[in-house]
Chain A
Amino acid sequence: MSLIWEGVLDAIRLLMGDDPEVWRITLLSLRVSGLATLISLLIGLPLGTILALGKFPGRSFLLSLINTGMALPPVVVGLVVSILLWRSGPLGSLGLIYTPAAIIVAQTIIAAPVVTGLTAVAMQQLDPRLRLQLLGLGASRLQMVLTLWWEARLLLLAALMAGFGSVISEVGASMMVGGNIRGQTRVLTTAIVLETGRGQFARAIALSVLLLALTYIVNLALTWIQQRGARR
């Protein structure tokens, strides 16, 4: 118990002090997972909408694939992306292995199905008569989709939070494709694994506190937007 308390005190000391490395690691985590979530949103929002509203052969099959993708194990994604990006791999010439970009690619593969799947559910929750009414009122397709997104905004923001949560917390893929390189690809989760392995438990706990705080702040901001939307 004293170890946890020590770790929390250490976290406060780390935050108060001027340890630039801790900030760099925290900001890199935010940057990598934030960008992966944003890209996932750009993919997942249209794709989920098409899957929910479209009528085409293979739709259920695609949905089942996306739903399976929501449970993609990060280590499997890490392994596959590593094999592709290694110098000996088919995309090796891009030189992406052991860079933050490689982590963003892996995390996007993890988060995109989550955002897509939950977007599809959110859109299917809407009353189908709403679409007919909108089209009847003379809305264009774009206006209709924007209105439907607005109507589903609470669930869509929940999808965004779930997507962010799935990548800010993963360690397997970041470790494999990023390599946990100090000053380059060391993010909070991989740093926690490293410090625990080194027996530096207080520092590991301090980084854990930072990770929880970061996740909380991001979700607080998203929840704030969500609830502002809900009150209207």
Chain B
Amino acid sequence: MIQPGSFTAQLNGLLSGLLTVGLILALALSACGRTPSPAVPAPADPILILATATGPQDAGLLDVLIPIFEKQTGYRVKTVAVGTGAALQMARNGNADVLLTHAPSAERVLMREGWGRDRLLVMRNDYVIVGPTADPAGIRGIPSAADAFRRIAAARATFISRGDDSGTHQTERQLWASIGLNPDGQAWYLESGQGMGATLAIASAKSAYTLTDLSTYLVGRPHLQLEVLVEGDPVLLNVYHVITVNPERWPGVNYTGARAFARFLVDPATQEIIGRFGVDQFGQPLFYPEAGKTEAELGVP
């Protein structure tokens, strides 16, 4: 049935074939990876985990800022864009070193509980209510976001919520709460459970309203059949803070690196880059640098 003498030869054929593939693979592997070594000597603990809201990542701002920081300091930043709710939880569990988040009230709770060490204001932009051009709830140009939400509910017009405990979602929930209305379970109130870009795409496809930060909307606008209907209400202020995780709670965190990153974000040179970011492409900044100001000065509720 078989000749035991020939199987070694056959096996050789198979193995040489596999070896060829392995070699190709190995060549491909050796060619990739290896980022250029930084200009300055690496710090003792060079790995820094940044848990961030999705806004700055989706807008592309972090793609600009992180390489500058890495080059200046030799740190290697692991940016995890998880949304503000998850980022705050990562701080509580000691799974992140530094946060960039935009939910002031939840952040204050985190600080009060002692999970964070420093909290510095970095930048702001605005939330806007976007919706279909037809505007079935008739909210165009209304100055009050709360009134707009009331009309959307009254018209039972479809509204897409992030539903993911992100900073945007928390702001949206606070708006519903401010008019004493709980939209949960209503047929017109849908939760996407996804990031802002994906949620805007869903709102566009469903001709629905949603609350968004202006930057993500501007980046996605070419593909969206949505327009800005309500803007400028002070409650629609979107403020980003950088928070370092408290090393007394979690001795394993890279506090030195976290502090270096926080300082970098509020540095005047970085603030200038933030203020210029997006101007070429969108004719307006996506984020306004506000380091050094207090929340009260900006009018954070």
Whether the pair A147, B93 counts as a contact (CB closer than 8 A) is: no
B186 CB → nearest A CB, Å: 26
Residue A150, interface by CB 8 Å = yes
Closest to B97 in A: A87
Q: Which of A24, A98, A151 contacts B49 (CB 8 A)?
A: A98
Interface of A is mostly: helix
B53 CB → nearest A CB, Å: 13
Whether the pair B223, A34 counts as a contact (CB closer than 8 A) is: no
In the assembled complex, the Cα of A224 lies from the Cα of B20 at a distance in Å of: 12
Residue A68, interface by CB 8 Å = no
Q: Which residues of B contact A30 (CB under 8 A)?
A: 25, 28-29
Whether the pair A199, B197 counts as a contact (CB closer than 8 A) is: yes
In the assembled complex, the Cα of A186 lies from the Cα of B69 at a distance in Å of: 20
Q: Which of B4, B49, B94, B219 contacts A199 (CB 8 A)?
A: B219
B75 CB → nearest A CB, Å: 13
Closest to B25 in A: A34
Whether the pair A86, B28 counts as a contact (CB closer than 8 A) is: no
Whether the pair B29, A27 counts as a contact (CB closer than 8 A) is: yes
Flag A2-18 by CB within 8 Å of B: 1 or 0 each: 00000000000000000
Interface residue ranges, B against A (CB under 8 Å): 1-2, 4, 7, 10-11, 13-14, 17-18, 21-22, 24-25, 28-29, 31-33, 35, 47, 49, 54, 58, 63, 66, 76, 78-81, 93-95, 194-198, 200-201, 219-220, 222-224, 250, 252-253
Whether the pair A27, B17 counts as a contact (CB closer than 8 A) is: no
Interface of B is mostly: helix
In the assembled complex, the Cα of A146 lies from the Cα of B2 at a distance in Å of: 13
8 A-B pairs with CB atoms under 8 Å apart are A30-B25, A35-B29, A143-B4, A147-B2, A153-B14, A179-B79, A181-B79, A225-B21
Number of residue pairs spanning A and B whose beta carbons lie under 8 angstroms apart: 119
Q: Which residues of A contact B10 (CB under 8 A)?
A: 150, 229, 232
Most buried by B among A24, A147, A181: A181
Whether the pair A147, B7 counts as a contact (CB closer than 8 A) is: yes
Q: Which residues of B contact A153 (CB under 8 A)?
A: 14
Q: Which of B7, B24, B197 contacts A198 (CB 8 A)?
A: B197
Q: Which residues of B contact A80 (CB under 8 A)?
A: none
Residue A60, interface by CB 8 Å = no
A105 CB → nearest B CB, Å: 16
Per CB-CB distance, the 10 closest pairs between chain A and chain B, nearest first, are A27-B32, A199-B220, A197-B197, A225-B17, A179-B80, A98-B78, A31-B29, A88-B93, A197-B195, A197-B198
Binds B, one of A46-54, A107-115, A133-141: A133-141
In the assembled complex, the Cα of A96 lies from the Cα of B31 at a distance in Å of: 22
Given A27-B31, A88-B94, answer yes or no on A150-B4 (Cβ-Cβ < 8 Å).
no
Q: Which residues of A contact B196 (CB under 8 A)?
A: 197
